[in-house]
Amino acid sequence: MGLLSGKRILVTGVLTESSIAFHVARLAQLEGASVVLTGYGRLGLVERIAARLPQPPPVLELDVTDDAQLASLAERVRPHAERIDGVLHSIGFAPRGALGGAFLSTPWADVATAVHVSTYSLKALATAVVPLMGEGGSIVGLDFDASVAWPGYDWMGVAKAGLESCSRYLARYLAPRDIRVNLVCAGPLRTIAARGIPGFGDFEDTWKARAPLGWDSSDCEPVARTCVALLSDWLPATTGEIVHADGGLHAIGG
């Protein structure tokens, strides 16, 4: 019996095998879950990557800024899963102008895009799947430390701070439905998203020098395991929490 035996998990954000979401989906299946993936834009690519999972899952289109797709999500999931027990929110984007040190000159349009896709989407996704979570469950989002200002991270850092606050409010309002909402705060990993962050190598150097447990930016497994644990029934009284899977750096002074 695996941690997720009999569970049905919806996973967003799989784009390549280096995606954290891919490793969560893989581990979820190995722990006994059935998985449904969502993808945005390049669905053919997502389907090819999905075929590399232990059990190729169905792939549904989902643009989290499209109200019509969100409204129809539960209806489109039902043929593959009558209910959903867990959801991974692995969605984030900021336009180039919102990153890289141009914080003071970033236009509102770029900020709005970053906040819509990276912050508000957690609430939008949660409310879209609530009809499928009648027996309760777990929503897990992916975070990066927003307690400090990182060089070049700029408005994505602001969006992540909003994500952290959003998760706490969702935890408050979804608790009566027995739905837990938590974030996993990961260290820097070499994903497609990371490649778009100017100076990502500096993040890697910081973790390599300071993380007391060490940090391998090419290994998504520790973060994926943390997500799977939160998606399971083993933390039934944990909600509104930010669980760090960062080699311990968050707790160590400079």
User: 87, 83, 91: which is closest to 139 by C-alpha?
Assistant: 87
Average pLDDT over residues 23-31: 98
CA distance 66 to 73: 11
Q: Is 208 a catalytic residue?
A: no
- Helix 154-174 to helix 121-129 angle (10° resolution) is 30
Alpha-carbon Rg for the chain in angstroms: 17
Residue 141 DSSP symbol: E
Q: Length of the chain, please?
A: 254
Q: What angle do CA 203, 206, 207 make, to 5 degrees?
A: 90
Give the model's pLDDT for residue 93: 95
Average pLDDT over residues 231-241: 98
User: 170, 176, 183: which is closest to 128 by C-alpha?
Assistant: 170
User: 72, 76, 75, 71: which is closest to 59 by C-alpha?
Assistant: 76
CA distance 246 to 88: 18
CA distance 160 to 146: 6
Residue percentage of the chain with pLDDT more than 90 = 89
Query: Would you state the structure tokens that stand for residue 139, as one six-digit string?
Result: 């929503």
User: 137, 246, 226, 129: which is closest to 181 by C-alpha?
Assistant: 137
Average pLDDT over residues 139-158: 95
165 CB-near residues (< 8 Å, 6+ apart): none
Give the model's pLDDT for residue 1: 78
CA distance 149 to 202: 14
Give the model's pLDDT for residue 192: 77
Residue percentage of the chain with pLDDT more than 70 = 100
Q: Is 7 a catalytic residue?
A: no
Quickly state the pLDDT bin for 28 (edges 50, 70, 90).
very high
Q: How far is CA 133 from the centre of its chain?
A: 18
pLDDT in tens, 57-87: 999 999 999 999 999 999 999 999 999 999 9
Exactly one of 7, 123, 160, 173 is catalytic; which is it?
A: 160
pLDDT in tens, 88-137: 999 999 999 999 999 999 999 999 999 999 999 999 999 999 999 988 99
Give the model's pLDDT for residue 190: 85
Give the model's pLDDT for residue 253: 77
Residue 36 DSSP symbol: E
Quickly state the pLDDT bin for 254 (edges 50, 70, 90).
low
Other beta carbons within 10 Å of 79 = 10
Class assignment of domain 8-249? alpha beta
CA distance 220 to 224: 6
Exactly one of 123, 153, 169, 173 is catalytic; which is it?
A: 153
Share the mean pLDDT of the chain: 95
Q: Give the residue, 7 or 15, on which the prediction is more confident.
A: 7
30 CB-near residues (< 8 Å, 6+ apart): 2, 54
Quickly state the pLDDT bin for 199 (edges 50, 70, 90).
confident
Q: How far is CA 33 from the centre of its chain?
A: 18
